[in-house]
Amino acid sequence: MMTPEQRYFFDLTGYLHLHGVLSESELRPAQDAAQRYIDTPPDQLPEGFRIDLNREHFNWYLYAFAFDKALERLTMHPQTWPILLELTGGKPRLGGGNMMVDVHGKPFHPLHSGRESALRKGQPGWRRSFVKDGKIYNNDLVFFFYLTDVFPGDGGLIVVPGSHKANFLREHHYFYPESYTADGGYNDDYFSTEVPEGVTNFTPRAGDVVIMSEHLTHGALSWEPKDRDRRFLTLRYGVQHIGPSDPFPDGVKAQLSPETLELIAVRDFKDHKEITTRDTVELTL
Ligand SMILES: O=C(O)CCC(=O)C(=O)O
Ligand SMILES: [Fe+2]
């Protein structure tokens, strides 16, 4: 369940910033697990896991949600679980769970959204969002679980509030004119920490969660601090009846508890996942 105020805010803006979601006893082990993943030499990772330090906008720790139970538990955290159930109409599917680490020197991550890319490609929309019976439905969601602090002026996540239901397509030169190249690609030589009118920058603390619709136009400012990075687990959720049927390597799935295996499973629309009948889900170890 969402509170009426959360429904109002998410409908209006396309996001929710939840403060202090992780308790100290949840946060510390999650941070330790993240550090362990970062410190693991790539050739010693468990089968299926992979580190990609060559992505232009951040370092990427693939399938981090499955790397440790402290991270896996976040996929069905007691505070975000009811919100996820409501937004997906009780039919959630976890489709991705990488950790991103943003470090000084990575370029600005230009504004983008799943909705805009679909519109640009002229794709008929399977990305749906509507309100029915007083509830918001959204089949394309991202939950960012912050493991480190972001302070004003640091940079990091930006969104265009309300853009999840924009009626006009944003052109590439809006807000950050230099951030795209003439042919519509990302300009990897562009750096900015500016927050123009109409854009919101987030300063989550470790243990906060930012929930947003993938329809929302978002990106990231260049990361200013040289002595701190920005670490967050990116949990991407859709609905159970929309694939891809199997996005996770066998080695990754081998680490997961039965509850999480059910969460990632593709199912018929009419089915009810057993986990969705529970208010809180404990992982079987
Ligand atoms: O760096 C960020 O906070 C945004 C990352 C992003 O665009 C995404 O995960 O879809
Ligand atoms: Fe994105």
Beta carbons within 8 Å of 177's beta carbon, 6+ residues apart = none
Between strands 156-159 and 200-201, the pairing is: antiparallel
pLDDT higher than 80, residue 245: no
Residue 220 alpha carbon to ligand 1 centre in Å: 6
CA 54 to chain centre: 20
Q: How many domains does the structure of the chain reveal?
A: 1
Rounded Cα gap, residues 159 and 217, in angstroms: 6
- Residue 125: per-residue pLDDT: 66
Q: Are 155 and 106 in contact (CB under 8 A)?
A: no
Q: Please state, as a whole number, how many other Cβ atoms lie within 10 Å of the Cβ of residue 193.
A: 15
In a domain, 196, yes or no: yes
- Residue 126: per-residue pLDDT: 64
Percent of the chain with pLDDT over 70: 99
φ, ψ for residue 62 (rounded to 5)? -70, 145
State the ligand closest to the CA atom of 219.
1
pLDDT digits 0-9 by tens, 215-228? 999 999 999 999 99
pLDDT digits 0-9 by tens, 148-189? 999 999 999 999 999 999 989 999 999 999 999 999 999 999
Output the residue whose Cα is nearest ligand 1's atom 7.
Answer: 219
Q: What is the mean pLDDT of residues 246-260?
A: 95
| Buried residues in 54-74 as b, exposed as e (16+ CB within 10 A) | eeebbbbbbbbbbbbbbbbbb
In a domain, 283, yes or no: no
Ligand 1 atom closest to residue 214's alpha carbon, by position in its atom list:
10
- Residue 243: per-residue pLDDT: 79
pLDDT digits 0-9 by tens, 54-98? 888 899 999 999 999 999 999 999 999 999 999 999 999 999 999
Tell me, using a 6 A CB cutoff, whether residue 157 lines ligand 1.
Answer: yes
- Residue 246: per-residue pLDDT: 77
Tell me, using a 6 A CB cutoff, whether residue 220 lines ligand 1.
Answer: yes
From 255, 156, 165, 257, select the one nearest 208 (Cα to Cα): 156
Ligand 1 atom closest to residue 156's alpha carbon, by position in its atom list:
3
In a domain, 282, yes or no: no
Q: Which helix (H) or strand (E) holds 28?
A: helix 24-39
Residue 274 alpha carbon to ligand 2 centre in Å: 30
Rounded Cα gap, residues 101 and 61, in angstroms: 8
Among 17, 58, 104, 109, which is best to mutate for testing ligand 1, by the most ligand atoms less than 8 A from CB? 109
- Print the domain residue range for 247: 4-277
Ligand 1 atom closest to residue 157's alpha carbon, by position in its atom list:
3
DSSP string covering 207-251: T-EEEEETTS-EEEEPP--SS--EEEEEEEEEETTS--S--S-HH
User: Average pLDDT of the chain?
Assistant: 95
In a domain, 131, yes or no: yes
Rounded Cα gap, residues 150 and 222, in angstroms: 12
Query: What token pair was written down for 112?
Result: 């983008």
In a domain, 284, yes or no: no
Residue 246, CB-side half-sphere exposure with 13 Å CA sphere: 5
- Residue 247: per-residue pLDDT: 87
pLDDT digits 0-9 by tens, 4-63? 999 999 999 999 999 999 999 999 999 999 999 999 999 999 999 999 998 888 999 999
Q: Are 36 and 44 in contact (CB under 8 A)?
A: no
Confidence of residue 128 (pLDDT cuts 50, 70, 90): confident
Rounded Cα gap, residues 262 and 275, in angstroms: 7
Rounded Cα gap, residues 115 and 185, in angstroms: 17
Ligand 1 atom closest to residue 234's alpha carbon, by position in its atom list:
9
Where residue 62 sits, what CATH number does that domain have?
A: 2.60.120.620
From 143, 78, 141, 137, select the one nearest 114 (Cα to Cα): 141
pLDDT digits 0-9 by tens, 199-214? 999 999 999 999 999 9
- Phi-psi label, residue 90: left if phi above 0, alpha if psi -120 to 50, beta otherwise: left
Query: What token pair was written down for 282?
Result: 């404990």
If you ran DSSP here, which 8-state letter would residue 283 be given? Answer: P
Output the residue whose Cα is nearest ligand 1's atom 6.
Answer: 219
- Residue 216: per-residue pLDDT: 96
